[in-house]
C-alpha cells in the first residue's frame, strides 16, 4: 500500500480511484466491511482502491483542547487498512481552513478537482463538510450531479448493537475486552517505548516493562489484564497492570497512570525498545495491598489465572 | 376442493427463517437503535428503513461469532 501525503504528487497521479471516506478509528468490523466493498469493486472495475485520512483527527481540530482518545496508533491503522487490500492511502492535513469547507466545496475541491474519483464508499452515518453538515445522502446527490458514484454501506451489528468506534471506546475503557474484541474483530492493543521505571516489579520478583504510551491512545480501565506482548516479531504471554500502583503510590491525587507488563519467561533488557501489548481479558480491578507479601501472593494468583485463560484461548483457536 | 400452494414447503422454510431472524431480543435492540440514528439523520421513513437494515444486517452477519485466539487477530 502506498502512502501519499503530498498534494502535488496526488495531482500528478492519473488514477481511476475508488475511495473510502471516514476516520476509521479502530478499523472495526463496520469499517472492514466498507473497505472490503471498496477493494472488491475496485478489482472488478479496474479501479485503484484508496482511503482518505485526515491528520490530526478532525474532532481534535474542531473541539480544540479536548483530546479524543484513539483506538489505534497510526502504524496499527496502517497495518489494518493494508491487510484489507487497499492500494493507496492518502493522508492530508486537517486544519481550520479544511474544517470550514462546505459539503459542496469539499466535493468539488477534493473529490473532483484533486482526486477525480470514480466512486466513493461511506458508512451510513458519514458526515462531512463544515460542522458535519453533509450527510451520506447528500453525497449521493452531489455524486449524481458531478459524475461519480456513491455507495452507502449498511450498518454492521454484533449481538444486536451497531458497531461503532464510540461503542468500542466505551466498552474498552470500561475494561470489557471481550466485547471490544468482538466489535473490532481483533484484540485491542497499545504500543509504546519501554522506559525506565522504579524497579518495584523486580524487587517483588516480577520484573516489568514500563510502557510510555501516547496521551492520545485510549486505555482500558485500571486493573490487571492477561495480554500478549509483541516484541521483535515474537509473542510473549503477559500480565499487565494499568493504573496508579496504589500500594506504592502514596499521593492520592497523582495523575500519573502507569502501564506495566510482566512478560512470562522473558529476561531481556528492552529499555527504549518498542513493545506492543494486545489485551485478551481483564482479570481484576486495581487494588491497594497492605503489604508487599500480599501483593506478591496476588500476583502469583494473577499469573495462574492468566495461564488458565491463555490455555483456554489457545485450545479454542 | 382446497388446494395446497405449490410453494408450500418453500414458504414454510422462509417463514421459519424470518422468525428465527427477528425473534431474538437483539434484533429489536438493533431495530430500535437504527430507528433512533435514522431519525436523527433525518432519513425518510426512518422506522421502515431501520427495519429493513436491521434485517439486512442480521442476514449478512457472518464473522461476528466470538473471536478466537489466532495470530491473525493481532494488529
Residue ranges of the alpha helices (H) in A147-238?
Answer: 165-173, 177-184, 200-204
Domain-wise residue ranges, chain B: 24-60
Burial (CB count <10 Å: 0-12, 13-18, 19+), residue A306: buried
- Taking CA–CA distances from A78, the nearest residue in chain B reads B75
Whether residue A145 is found in the same domain as residue A204: no
Whether residue A20 is found in the same domain as residue A145: yes
Strand-strand pairing, A48-55 and A88-93: parallel
Nearest Cα neighbor of A274 from A213, A219, A201 is: A213
CATH of the domain at A237: 2.40.30.30
- Taking CA–CA distances from B57, the nearest residue in chain A reads A156
List chain A residues with CB under 8 Å of B63: 29, 185
Residue ranges of the alpha helices (H) in B1-75?
Answer: 8-22, 25-41, 46-60
Residue A36 resides in a domain? yes
Distance from CA of B53 to the nearest CA of A (A): 7
Residue B17: phi and psi, rounded to 5, are -60, -45
SS3 sequence of A255-313: CCCEEEEEECCCCCCCCCCEEEEEEEEEEEECCCCCCHHHHHHHHHHHHHHHHHHHHHH
Paired residues of A150 in beta bridges: A120
Nearest Cα neighbor of A206 from A144, A115, A119, A296 is: A296
Taking 60 as the threshold, does the pLDDT of residue B67 lie above it? no
Taking 80 as the threshold, does the pLDDT of residue B74 lie above it? no
Residue A273 resides in a domain? yes
* Cβ–Cβ < 8 Å for A209, A56: no
Residue B15: phi and psi, rounded to 5, are -60, -40
Note the pLDDT of residue B59.
Answer: 86
Spatial separation of the C-alpha atoms in residues B14 and A278, rounded to whole Å: 42
Give the residue numbers spanning the domain of A64.
2-159
Whether residue A155 is found in the same domain as residue A44: yes
Residue A182 resides in a domain? no
CA distances from A211 to A107, A142, A191, B24 (A): 42, 47, 8, 43
Respond yes or no: is residue A105 known to be catalytic. no
CB contact under 8 A, B74 and A278: yes
CB contact under 8 A, B37 and A162: yes
Residue A178 resides in a domain? no
Q: In what order do the strands lie in the sheet with A119-123?
A: A2-4, A88-93, A48-55, A17-21, A119-123, A149-153
- Ordered per-residue pLDDT tens for chain A, 317 residues: 999 998 889 888 889 999 999 999 999 999 999 999 999 999 999 999 999 999 887 777 777 656 778 999 888 999 999 999 999 999 998 888 888 999 999 999 999 999 999 999 999 999 999 888 899 999 999 999 999 999 999 999 998 999 999 999 999 999 999 999 999 999 999 999 998 877 777 777 778 889 998 888 999 999 999 999 998 888 899 999 998 876 666 565 566 788 999 999 888 888 889 999 999 999 999 888 878 888 888 888 999 999 888 888 876 55
**CA torsion through residues A105, A111, A112, A113, sign:** positive
First vs last C-alpha separation in chain A: 29
Residue A170 resides in a domain? no
Whether residue A9 is found in the same domain as residue A152: yes
DSSP single-letter state for residue A72: S
B70 → closest Cβ in A162, A276, A317:
A317
Residue ranges of the alpha helices (H) in A150-218?
Answer: 165-173, 177-184, 200-204
Whether chain A has a CB inside 8 Å of the CB on B2: the answer is no
Rounded average pLDDT over B6-28: 90
Whether residue A114 is found in the same domain as residue A204: no
Residue A25 resides in a domain? yes
Q: How many domains does chain A have?
A: 2
At what angle are helices B8-22 and B46-60 packed, to 10 degrees?
A: 100
Note the pLDDT of residue A254.
Answer: 63
Nearest Cα neighbor of A103 from A86, A122, A89 is: A122
Which residues in chain A (15-44) have CB-CB distances under 8 A to chain B? 27, 29
Distance from CA of A111 to the nearest CA of B (A): 23
Last residue of a domain, one of A115, A141, A159: A159
Q: Cα–Cα–Cα angle for A162, A167, A171, nearest 5°? A: 130
Size of chain B, expressed as the number of residues it contains: 75
Distance from CA of B16 to the nearest CA of A (A): 20
* Cβ–Cβ < 8 Å for A283, A226: yes
Helix (H, G, I), strand (E, B) or coil at A71: coil
Whether residue A208 is found in the same domain as residue A129: no
Whether chain B has a CB inside 8 Å of the CB on A154: the answer is yes
Amino acid at each position: 500500500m502506498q502512502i501519499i501525503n503530498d498534494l502535488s504528487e496526488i495531482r500528478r497521479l492519473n488514477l481511476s480511484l475508488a475511495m473510502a471516506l471516514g476516520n476509521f478509528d479502530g478499523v472495526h468490523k463496520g469499517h472492514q466491511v466498507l473497505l472490503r466493498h471498496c477493494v472488491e469493486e475496485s478489482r472488478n472495475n479496474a479501479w485503484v482502491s484508496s482511503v482518505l485520512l485526515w491528520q490530526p483527527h478532525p474532532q481534535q481540530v474542531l473541539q480544540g483542547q479536548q483530546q479524543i482518545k484513539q483506538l489505534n496508533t497510526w502504524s496499527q491503522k496502517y497495518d489494518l487498512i493494508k491487510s484489507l487490500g487497499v492500494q493507496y492511502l492518502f493522508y492530508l492535513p486537517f486544519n481550520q481552513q479544511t474544517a470550514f469547507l462546505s459539503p459542496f466545496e469539499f466535493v468539488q475541491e477534493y473529490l473532483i478537482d484533486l482526486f477525480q474519483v470514480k466512486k466513493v464508499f461511506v458508512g451510513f452515518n458519514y458526515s462531512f463538510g463544515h460542522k458535519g453538515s453533509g450527510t451520506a445522502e447528500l453525497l449521493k446527490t452531489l455524486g449524481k450531479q458531478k459524475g461519480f458514484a456513491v455507495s452507502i454501506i449498511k450498518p454492521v451489528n454484533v449481538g444486536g448493537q451497531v458497531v461503532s468506534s464510540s461503542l468500542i471506546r466505551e466498552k474498552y475503557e470500561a475494561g470489557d475486552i471481550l466485547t471490544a474484541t468482538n466489535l473490532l474483530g481483533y484484540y485491542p492493543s497499545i504500543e509504546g517505548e519501554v522506559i525506565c521505571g522504579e524497579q518495584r516489579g523486580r524487587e517483588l520478583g516480577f520484573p516489568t516493562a514500563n510502557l510510555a504510551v501516547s496521551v492520545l491512545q485510549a486505555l482500558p480501565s485500571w486493573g490487571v489484564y492477561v495480554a500478549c506482548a509483541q516484541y521483535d516479531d515474537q509473542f510473549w504471554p503477559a500480565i499487565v497492570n494499568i493504573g496508579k500502583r496504589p500500594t506504592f503510590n502514596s499521593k492520592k491525587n497523582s495523575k500519573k497512570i502507569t502501564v506495566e507488563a510482566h512478560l512470562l519467561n522473558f529476561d531481556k533488557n528492552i529499555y527504549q525498545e518498542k513493545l506492543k501489548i494486545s489485551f485478551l481479558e481483564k482479570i481484576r480491578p486495581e487494588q491497594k495491598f497492605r503489604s508487599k507479601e500480599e501483593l506478591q501472593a496476588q500476583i502469583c494468583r494473577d499469573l495462574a489465572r492468566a495461564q488458565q485463560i491463555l490455555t483456554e484461548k489457545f485450545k479454542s483457536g | 376442493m382446497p388446494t395446497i400452494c405449490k410453494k408450500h414447503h418453500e414458504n414454510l422454510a422462509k417463514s421459519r427463517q424470518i422468525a428465527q431472524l427477528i425473534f431474538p431480543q437483539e434484533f429489536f435492540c438493533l431495530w430500535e437503535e437504527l430507528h433512533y440514528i435514522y431519525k436523527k439523520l433525518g432519513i425518510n421513513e426512518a422506522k421502515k428503513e431501520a427495519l429493513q437494515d436491521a434485517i439486512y444486517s442480521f442476514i449478512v452477519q457472518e464473522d461476528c461469532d466470538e473471536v478466537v485466539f489466532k495470530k491473525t487477530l493481532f494488529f
